[in-house]
Amino acid sequence: MRISCRYSGKGTFYESNRRKMFIARQKKQENIAEYLLYMWQLEDILRSCRLDIHLVEQALIAPAGYSEEQKKEVREWYEGLLMMMKSEGIQQQGHLQINKNLLLDLTDLHRSLLKDARESQYIEAFYKALPAIVEFRSKSGHQDVSELEACFTALYGYLLLKLQKKEISKETETATKQISHLLALLSQKYKTRDLEPE
């Protein structure tokens, strides 16, 4: 599935293609799960622009109405992402190492929360979502991915279906709600983990 590089003036599943860098910063501070999904979407958008900064400028920067200073800052941000994607060999598929590292960090937090008896709400949410996670891994053929990566992949696929306005079954809606709830709890824990005493 390819995402269009052209700016249509309509919103994606988070925002329009405008102001992606500023939105990414905000999401990273507020909800780390949304940030990771947002960055995955941005990787796909950049691929649809053939990793060409001129196409990115036409499709994402020019329509946004930035000041000259903002245009320069945003262009440099996109150029950095494009350079990383090329140097990491993910022109066609895959995720940036910074996004993989974030997923590993979230996976470590997820595992530590499951081992902590004080985290009953998180543990309960995980076991409620587990059948959906197992089913997704089975159907997708991604048995080798972690449970958390399966959650993100399932949710990203769901968001792409919504973006394409495809019909979504009640079972998928229910599974997505369970996974979304789990990732929302994980995001809250990620945001507050440095504030909590050991």
Residue range 82-123, pLDDT digits in tens = 999 999 999 999 999 999 999 999 999 999 999 999 999 999
Residue range 25-76, pLDDT digits in tens = 777 878 999 999 999 999 999 999 999 999 999 998 988 888 899 899 999 9
**pLDDT(9) > 90:** no
- How many domains does the chain divide into? 2
Distance, C-alpha 53 to centroid of its chain: 22
Residue 149 CA to residue 19 CA, distance in Å, equals 27
Q: Which of 53, 87, 121 is the last residue of a domain?
A: 87
Domain around 77:
20-87
Take residue 73 and report the two structure tokens written for it: 């800052």
Task: Check: CB of residue 71 under 8 Å from CB of residue 12.
Answer: no
Residue 189 CA to residue 32 CA, distance in Å, equals 10
Q: Which pLDDT band, with edges at 50, 70 and 90, does 141 fall under?
A: confident
In a domain, 53, yes or no: yes
Q: What is the dihedral of CA 192, 103, 95, 26, to 10 degrees?
A: -10
Residue 18, pLDDT score: 42
Q: Are residues 79 and 110 in the same domain?
A: no
Residue 94: CB atoms within 10 A of its CB come to 13
Q: Are residues 66 and 114 in the same domain?
A: no
